[in-house]
Amino acid sequence: MKRNVRLVVGILTLALTGPGILITPIVGYAQTQSKERRDDRQDDRKESRDTKQEGRQDARTKKAECKKGDENTRSECRQESRDTKQDARKDAREIKRD
């Protein structure tokens, strides 16, 4: 009788712990992939922000140079600055898509 009880307890223990052991590696692998994707997105966003910031700096520099020269009007200098910023935004969007 005690032998049968031990056998049943042993089988139940294996039946209850077996699926848990088999599921664990799958869950860990899925978390690793999502972490990698998240890290990739964060890197893309950082690179995109850096690109836009460089575009702003370039626009400020070009606008200052344009103001110093006498060949362009204020509105032409502003438009040149806007175009430079818009190009930087476009480049940043392309970085996020890739």
Considering only the C-alpha atoms of the chain, give the largest distance between any 2 of them, rounded to a whole number of Å.
Answer: 106
pLDDT, tens digit only, all 98 positions of the chain: 777 777 777 777 777 776 666 666 555 555 677 888 888 889 999 999 999 999 999 999 999 988 888 888 888 999 999 999 999 999 999 888 86
Nearest to residue 81, comparing CAs of 96, 95, 64?
64
**Model pTM score:** 0.57
Task: Provide Rg for the chain, Cα atoms.
Answer: 31
Sequence-distant (≥ 6) Cβ neighbours of residue 41 within 8 angstroms: none
